[in-house]
Every structure is written in structure tokens, then in C-alpha cells.
Amino acid sequence: MSANPKQAREDHFERDMAQYRADFPALVQEVNGHPLAFLDSAASSQRAQPVIDAVTHYETHDHANVHRGVHTLSQRATESYEGARESVQRFINGASTREVVFTRGTTESINLVAQCFAGPRLSAGDEVLITHLEHHANIVPWQMLCERTGAKLIVAHVEDDGSVPAENVTSRFTDRTRILAISAVSNALGTVLPLDEIIPAAKAADITVVVDGAQAVPHQQVDVQALGADFFAFSAHKMVGPTGIGVLWGRETLLDAMPPWQGGGDMIETVTLEKSTWNTLPYKFEAGTPNISGAVGLGAAVEYLQGVGMDNISRYEHLLLNVLTEQLEAQGDVRIVGTAPGKAAVVSFLMDGVHPHDLGTIVDHHGVAVRTGHHCAMPIMQRFDVPGTARASLAFYNNRDDIDALVASLATVRKLFK
Ligand code: C6P
């Protein structure tokens, strides 16, 4: 225990946060004869036990189709599904559950906006603005749309340290900019984008703002009303929830004015052989039997995260991020790619003379899980002229031992390859 009161408080906080690791059963195992050090949460986080329990309870006792049956199980399933929507609405401070559309994840959410909102509104010569660090999910749907409509894809510059000052984005606004599609946090570099400056400027210029929130929601409190964007997309599996479920939050007036996404059951109000009319929000965008157990898991995930406290998660992950960054910087032969101030819990790095895939394979032999490659963000890899990186990404269930395990395994990489 430190004599310095501030340090003592930090130590106490760190010990408090350490208790949550026990809620993640997958972390309690050996991989290749070593305790697992899971540093790949940006790709997909581990599941919290309360999430696993909620899904198991639903699957064991309550499963039936939703919105369709008068029988008890269907009502229970509907209550669980809609209860999850309410939990999500509270979690992101949406104005109403009508604004919370369940999708398969961030990718589907962005495609939905591109096709149903932007598609009917864009004409040749209009502009869609993105940044150079976007994930493919926030590039490709816009490229496809531009191809179809004749609109142009404009790309805001990313600085050498991976930062994106607001000016880099706002200076690209023209009177043809219709859509700004932008990440809140970069999955490849960890850059946190200054959306609090960018979004008001975009709204003042009458630009529709679509935020890829996949890497923001797991790490910081998100308030969609305060943020002021028009659409916000995220995935459950990056925030201790299940795969195959995510959210598109959108302003009710915009969602209401959009045509449906897919046709089928549940998204209709009436159907005759001549014509169909659409259900109310958000069901208009949820055709077919949805991922009910996924929604239950997502609901449990947001309740769990709120129990831990998003501010605590942010604070603890920053503490770990500082430790990880310092330790990697101390290696001498390691270069961090993306050093923007105020980063989130992602560190992309290269070791001199070692291909990232080789590094990833060797550290795995030591039980350390990192992602290697282009991280589904090839343009930003091209921007930095690297084929890919190794990426260690943190969650609040990590600890200093995980970081020590990574650093120790780098010594073996060095021995084998240099
Ligand atoms: N990034 C990563 O390892 P989906 O696959 O739809 O749940 O999320 C796509 C996505 C969109 N935007 C950002 C910023 C993301 O990080 C991701 C997913 C993972 O970085 C898997 S490629």
C-alpha cells in the first residue's frame, strides 16, 4: 500500500475492479499450458456469467416466438425481448424504445441506414464523408451506395499519430455533403474522435450524421441524445453480450420516414395480395423471427455493464492502457501505431523485423490472445504503409498480469525471430 493518498485510492480502485474478472468463466483456463491472457476484446469480448445465465434461463424456460402468441411462453418471450429493448434504451439514453432497432450488429445497422435512409436521398454529385480510419463496415456500404447513385465518397485525413482533429473533418464539408459516417473510436488505432466538436458542426451544415459506435459503447458512457447524431450503431458481442445481435439507434422522425429494410412477418400492419402496410417503429425494421435469446443476452449485458459502471470501466481501462503503453514503449524494438492523445483501450504495434502474424502465433503459444492483420481497416493500414499490426485490446476484466504475460511472450518472439 502506498503512503501517497492519491496512489492509495488508485490501488484501492484497481483492487475493486479486479473482482469483475471472476464473472468471466472463459478467462479461467489455460491455453497452450499458460494462463489465458485475453487481449482481443476489440474483436469480441468475453461473456459475463450473468449474460450466460440470462440466455440459458430464457432458452431453458421461456422460449417461444415473440409478438405472435397469446400463450404464456410467447408472452414471457415477448416481455424478455421488449424488456431488453428498454434496457438498451436506458443504457444509451434514447428518447424512446421506438428508436431502438435490433439488428445483427454494427455492420447490418450501417447497411440499413445506407440502403433505407441514404439510398433514396442521394443523387449524382452528392457527397458522403468518412474518415481514413473507418472499419470496412463504415466504408464498403457507402462505396456500394455511391456506385449505385453516382454520389462521391470523400475521405477526411488522419494525422501521423492517428488523431483526427475536428478541422480535418469539418474542412471537408461542402454544400453537397449529405452524410457524415464516422467512428466514435477506431478499432485499429484506438483513436477517440472529437465527435462533440464534429457533430454540432455537421448538424449546423444540415448533414446527417451516422456514428459507428462499435468500439465506443463497451468503453465509455454513451448518451445518444447528448451526442446529437442521427444514427448510432453498435454490436452486443463487443460489450460482454452475444454475437448476432446489435442495435441501430436512430431519430424517430428519420426512422419513421424510411422505407422498410426487409419484407416479411412482423414488419407489416396489413397484407393483401395487392398491397402491404407497415408496422410501427421499431418493428418495421425487424422482419421475421428475431434473435430473441441474443436480445435477452444484450439486455443482460447492458444491465451488467451498468452495475459495474461505465465511468469505472473507462477509468480502469485507461489505467491499464497507460501500463500497457509504457511497457511496450520500453521494449525498444516495438513501435506503436496510433499514439493520439486520449486514446481508448486499443494498442496496435509492430516489432522490428517480425511479421505481425508470426508475433501473434508465438504469443499464442504463451496463452496470449492478440489480433494480428489489418483489423478490417485496410485503408488505415495503407495510410501508415504497414501490411498490418499486432493489436492488444483491453477490457475491464483484464489486469496487469495479462500485460506482463504479453511482454514476457515478446521476449520469446525476439529470441526466435531476431
Ligand atoms: N471490429 C475488430 O476486430 P460487427 O462485425 O458488425 O459486429 O462490427 C463491425 C465493426 C464496425 N465498426 C468497428 C469500429 C468495429 O471495430 C467493428 C468490428 C472487430 O476490430 C472485428 S473486424
Please write the tens of the pLDDT for every residue from 174-203.
999 999 999 999 999 999 999 999 999 999
Residue type, 283: Y
State which of 215, 234, 378 you would mutate to test the pocket of ligand 1, scoring each by most atoms of that ligand within 8 A of its C-beta.
215
According to the model, what pLDDT value does residue 98 have?
98
Q: Is the CB of 399 under 6 A from ligand 1?
A: no
Q: Which of 222, 146, 238, 142 is nearest to 182 (CA)?
A: 142
Q: Is the CB of 375 under 6 A from ligand 1?
A: yes
According to the model, what pLDDT value does residue 403 have?
98
Our answer to whether residue 146 is catalytic in this structure is no
How sure is the predictor about 69, in pLDDT bands with cuts at 50, 70 and 90? confident
For residue 135, how far is its CA from the centre of ligand 1 (angstroms)?
7
Query: What is the per-residue pLDDT across 200-237, written as a single tens digit (0 to 9) for each?
Result: 999 999 999 999 999 999 999 999 999 999 999 999 99
Q: Which of 404, 377, 390 is nearest to 351 (CA)?
A: 390
Res 19 pLDDT > 80: yes
According to the model, what pLDDT value does residue 68 have?
82
| Average pLDDT of the residues of the chain | 97
For residue 196 the three cell numbers come to 462533440
Helices of type H across 330-418: 356-365, 378-383, 400-417
How sure is the predictor about 256, in pLDDT bands with cuts at 50, 70 and 90? very high
State which of 113, 135, 183, 243 you would mutate to test the pocket of ligand 1, scoring each by most atoms of that ligand within 8 A of its C-beta.
135
Q: Cβ contacts of residue 69 below 8 Å, gap of 6+?
A: 75
Res 105 pLDDT > 80: yes
Domains with residue ranges and CATH for the chain: 5-48+309-417 (3.90.1150.10), 51-307 (3.40.640.10)
Name the DSSP class of 59. I
How sure is the predictor about 418, in pLDDT bands with cuts at 50, 70 and 90? confident
* Contact (Cβ atoms closer than 8 angstroms) between residue 169 and residue 138: no
* Residue bearing the CA closest to ligand 1, atom 2: 43
* Residue bearing the CA closest to ligand 1, atom 19: 43
Q: For residues 232 and 203, what is the distance between their CA atoms, to the nearest angstrom?
A: 15
Q: Is the CB of 376 under 6 A from ligand 1?
A: yes
Three-class secondary structure of residue 269 per DSSP: strand
Res 1 pLDDT > 90: no
Name the DSSP class of 48. P
Query: What is the per-residue pLDDT across 394-413, written as a single tens digit (0 to 9) for each?
Result: 999 999 999 999 999 999 99
The single residue of 376, 378, 386, 408 carrying the catalytic annotation is 376
